[in-house]
Structure 1
Amino acid sequence: MRCRTETSQGASILDVAIGQYLSNIRRPGGLGKDPVRAERRAAQLAAIDPDWNPAERGWTVDWQRHYAYLAQLLTDGTRPAEIVPGVTRHGEDIGRWLATQRRNWDRLNAEQQHRLAELGVKKAPRARKATPKTAAASGPRAGGDAFQKGLQALAQYISREGRMPGRSAIEELPDGPHRVGIWVGNQKARRDRLDTAQLAALAELGVPWAQ
């Protein structure tokens, strides 16, 4: 698997501060002042992991670490649709990171897009623009407090459970219980009446039919 060097800066192996070591050698001139020796050392590191220095690939160590954790989740059997905001790996919110990559797909370089695509990740579709008729049909109720409360309940449920709620799911909010499962079903039934912002909010939480 690519991106094996997702080690954090504070990591140690056999009492060796490997995380700090990698941080040091990734810096300009970190492999030494002698260009021949530096090139030889770089080749030795690349033989262990071609991605040992993410900056040469056009991305950050943070991006590489999240990518590696995403690959691990998928290898462990997690389905892509289940990796929604709130799903974590080693303390990192991989679901939120993944939603950001899909939303900002065009800002990624070609190699980043290719590697994510190999994992089954696709660019988030553009939210449909609401027509004047749709906007009128949505009305205050759909775009107001009721929708926001439902969205809050859904985000809270996904953050805790790591999956979409079943129809019978009920989520407790400060103002009382919310039938979040029924609410999601109702939004799906009336998705043609949801505006662009509402669809985008649902898509960011990983709702399949909103993407």
Structure 2
Amino acid sequence: APGSVLGYVEPGAMVNGLDVGAWLVAQQEGWEELSGGQRERLVQLGVRPPEKKSAVAAKARPRAGGARAGAFERGVAALAQYAEREGTVVVPRSWSEELPDGTSVRLGVWLSNTRSRRATLTGEQLERLAGLGLEWAVAA
């Protein structure tokens, strides 16, 4: 409603495939860099500028994207485990791999998504995937 304030939205809250929580965190963290028009539109949506926090509190907060980086690490670990056991990196899309810590990784889906998003991967990430035998990571 007009004039209302948006409540806290946890990073990882997905709406139509977008992480709205992480987006809101990024907007608030970069509030000073936003143009006046961007700030005005956010205020109209109920987003308020961040309150001033101490330097200690700001450093203690986890960074946005941490979950995504963790997902990449879990996917690489699952792929390495699968490749060592099966001798191939060709994974059925429906395959789930259980890591030693009990975490289940939907490896086939992760691999498909990672390949389709390879343009956004860092050089280091592509090197790690190429090192496991993924040809598309070498050509990217």
Task: Output the TM-score relative to the length of structure 2.
Answer: 0.49
Larger gyration radius, structure 1 or structure 2: 1
Task: Output the TM-score relative to the length of structure 1.
Answer: 0.33
Higher RCO (CA < 8 A, seq sep 6+): 1
